[in-house]
Amino acid sequence: MSTTLPLFWHLSSNNKKERIDASVKLIGALEQFQAQFIPKASPETTEDEEENSEKEEDALDTLNAQDVSYSIRRLIRGLASPRESSRLGFAVALTELLSRISTVTCSQIVSLIMDCSKTQGSMTGQEERDMLFARLFGLTSIIQSGLIVRDTPLPTSASFSTIASSLASYQEVMKQLIELGEKKSWLRESAWWTLGLTFDTLVRSSVLWKDDAIEATFDMIYEEKSWSPEKVAITVTLQDQYPQKDWRKHLSPTFKNPRILNTANLATLAKILKESASDEDGETGLKAAASGAWKPQVHYVWDIILDALLPAEASTKQPQGSLQEFFRIVVDDSLFAATSSAERKYWGFQVFGKALRHVDASDMPMLFTKNFMRCWINHLSKQDRYLHKVAKQVATEMQSIVQKNPTMGFTLILQLTGVHGNRQFDKLTRTKTVESILTSMDADEIKNYIDYLLGQVNEEVTETTDVQAVNSRRLWIVDQLSALIRNGTVPKQDEWISTVLEWLTIHGLFEIKKTSEKSSYLASEEQGDLIQGAKALIQATLIYQLCNAGEEDGPRAEALESCLKAASRLLESRKKDKKRRKSEAAEELPLPVDVFVDTIIGFLEEPSSYMRAVANHSFTRLSHCVQESTIDLILAQLERRNPSELLEDNDEAISADGEDAFDDEDSAKDDGSSAEDESDKKGSEVEEPDLELRKKVEATLEASGVKPTAEDSEEDSEEETMDDDQMMALDEQLAAVFKTRTAEAKKGKDVNAQREASHFKNRVLDLVDILVKTNPGSSFIIKDEEHLSRKAGGLLRSRIGKLKEVPSKVEAEQASKLLGDLHSQARRVRSAEILASFSQCSVAEITVLTAYRESLTDFVSRKSSSLNARFFQDFIRHFPSSAWQLRNAMLEVIEKAVNTQARSLESFDGRRTVLSIIIL
């Protein structure tokens, strides 16, 4: 015993780990003592003699070691100790010890518990509470250890065997628990919870007296006609286990239907669960049990009812009632009623949280009832409300549920913004509940939400429809769509983003009157890529214009208008009347694809990287639909132009404006006041003066003997004393200064214009790259610009020159002419890099062999030929079958070679190299 005594002290520790360690050590030591203990053999006696001997000798000490019997008594007495957490530690150790040893009976332990927890009139309130709790914890230990239904005999004498449990001990435990609940109202919930635990243990057991114990349980529970939430909980459990019982006998006259969760019983059930029924209800005969003080924890009966109404998916049980009706009558019309107290509403929020964790997406709308949503929004909107904290906990619980299961988000948003909710839920409650739920949803649920929003727009408006309400709802839908686009945390998907942009474009720029298959605006299947490219271009232009303060005039607005007109012509059906055909033939409108590409080229001049990305993306869609005029439009941008020509055009335009201004000067002088006002306005917009130019002018005036006056000087100018010759000389000098300054400015403009032109051509070359990449079999590839820069050469070498697909529809005459021009220029160039580009162009143009024969003759017969051997090797490697036709001509001209490079081919190694390349 000396080894176990120190362990009892640690059973009262507030540290959970320390209590468990002490329990483990104590039980381990007691098991060793019991294993070493040898019970004393008792002589055979008659029953009367045995009863007398049991009274004289304590049976607990007879079959157990001294340390074990002491520990059992010590643990039972320790249940009444008020010190720290002794009740928890001693109850755990007692439960574990009773489950390990088989030398005690249920009646022995019940007797010890009842003796150690007797109450007396002289006890204080605290002492009485300690005794009642000791009895409750002791009985719970008997049940949880399994001792109450243990059917193994005790190791006693050979002539008599005693079973560890019996029907009498079971009934005694049930009786004590019921009495304990009746004695103190604040103990009833815990006592009846233990009563339900006792019945569950009995159902799982296989004792011989099981049926008798069940009948005894029914008799003890339904002996009293008063009803409490605890009795409802045990009834739901019993009906699930024994549905064949005559429940009408046990439930009447309080309940109308024998199934307690039936809709007909819900009104009565609501009064019981609200714990506010009167002592006697004349209509239903309901007699409520005495209830204790209100406590914030919701009753455990709600968990049992929700499990019965919403069985687990893996369970084969059927629901015992309707969740929708139960929640409407028992929760919404009772706990959340307008006349309900704040304490009952607090319970209601907790019940809602429990139900929210049980339901799936299909059952969730049943929980968002009218009274609940009204109460929740009211208490969530202001922090000074009594139930603001619990209302906020409900919102947090919703967000956590969506994070675990994103498929619940769409259903939740529909309820928050639906009939009983408010479309401006976040704004009304001053929270971000809807926004946080949206960020937790996956892309598929976001798409479902967008489809739902768009479905609400097209509601048919009749004479009785409230137009203001419809417009308000549509405005809210537009705000929701824009919020989805703006919110960076919402999972994005190209499919639903495209749907939103398309809807905004159509409803923002057009008025949809009626959908008709006979409409003159129809798109054919062949125009699919063209339509997609035009749509992307129009949407991007619209977005960029809106982001720039929605300018109504300007190049972007004109580009948007031209694209819309071209799209309208593109979608027009081919059935047109004669007058319309004649008018369009007279106007000679450009092709829609040309209009789109022209707009794209205009985007390339923009400094915005977004517009350049839009241009490349749109052209990728349009590249399959380009025409010859479209190629000419692109190549026209790559033509070499003198930047000074552009500046001269600008100067002419400026000078024209200046002449107009000069012509209007006289008329401006007539209007004295208005001219002064106009000059004041313009004076504020004048640029800062050029200090360097001003210094040169002042130096010229001083050299001519004229001293410049200060701006604020009122003295007469010395110009009055100068004669005509001096004035003419001064005029020539000033003209020279201004001319020099103009030349310097013009030179700077030339450099800037040339730089901008180079950048612009590089961007245009990106379009050519896209065309070749996306449409390698196009016949328009042969029309690429001949004099391209370094990037053009790289494009020719990496794209056009290495094409595996050969254009199938090419005019032979045109290809022959272009190939001849390329070879003619290749014979005159002096740059190896340019010659390599010509070689790649020739390889891409290969349809005739005449040009290569002439170039080969020029290469071997003229010493100053600019061609080289690689020019022909590229042709042989790419088209060996075509080059094989030139084998005879190649061998003949090599013998007549006068060019140094050509002579290298005259040797045996050179000829073998040429032949091997051709053969391979």
pLDDT tier for residue 136 given thresholds of 50, 70 and 90: very high
Question: Three-state DSSP class for 140?
Answer: helix
pLDDT of residue 330: 93
Does 616 or 435 have the greater pLDDT score? 435
Q: How confident is the model at residue 463 (pLDDT cuts 50, 70, 90)?
A: low
Task: Name which of 257-261, 297-301, 665-669, 699-703 the model is least confident about.
Answer: 665-669
Average pLDDT over residues 648-667: 46
Could you tell me the two tokens for 472?
A: 């308000």
Higher per-residue confidence, 519 vs 313: 313
User: Residue 472 — very low, low, confident or very high, per pLDDT cuts 50/70/90?
Assistant: confident
Most confident segment among 36-40, 118-122, 463-467, 648-652: 118-122
What percent of the chain is modeled with pLDDT above 90?
Answer: 21
pLDDT at 763: 77
What CA–CA distance (Å, rounded) separates 199 from 180?
17
pLDDT by residue (tens digit) across 513-541?
Answer: 665 555 545 545 556 677 777 777 777 77
> Among the ranges 339-343, 595-599, 601-605, 763-767, which has the highest mean pLDDT value?
339-343
Query: Which tens digit of pLDDT belongs to each residue from 410-445?
Result: 899 989 988 888 888 988 899 989 889 988 888 888
Q: What is the predicted pLDDT for the residue at 842?
A: 55
pLDDT band for position 348 (cuts 50, 70, 90): very high
**Beta bridge partner(s), residue 521:** 572
Position 536 scores a pLDDT of 78
**pLDDT the model gives residue 909:** 46
Q: What is the pLDDT of residues 894-905, one digit of tens each?
A: 666 665 555 455
For residues 402-408, average pLDDT: 89
Burial per residue of 224-237, b for 16 or more beta-carbon CB atoms within 10 angstroms, e otherwise = eeebbbbbbbbbbb
H, E, C per residue of 88-127: HHHHHHHHHHHHHCCCCCHHHHHHHHHHHCCCCCCCCHHH
Cα-based distances in Å from 316 to 310, 319, 324, 367: 11, 10, 21, 24
pLDDT-based confidence at 719, cuts 50/70/90? Answer: very low
Position 653 scores a pLDDT of 44
Across all residues in the chain, what is the average pLDDT?
75
Mean of the pLDDT values across residues 695-719?
Answer: 56
Least confident interval from 151-165, 210-224, 293-307, 647-661: 647-661
Q: How confident is the model at residue 171 (pLDDT cuts 50, 70, 90)?
A: very high
Q: Which amino acid is at 181?
A: G
Please state the rounded mean pLDDT for residues 174-197: 91
DSSP letter, residue 299? P
Give SS3 for 41: coil
Instruction: Please state, in angstroms and rounded to a whole number, the distance separating the CA atoms of residues 825 and 569.
Output: 43
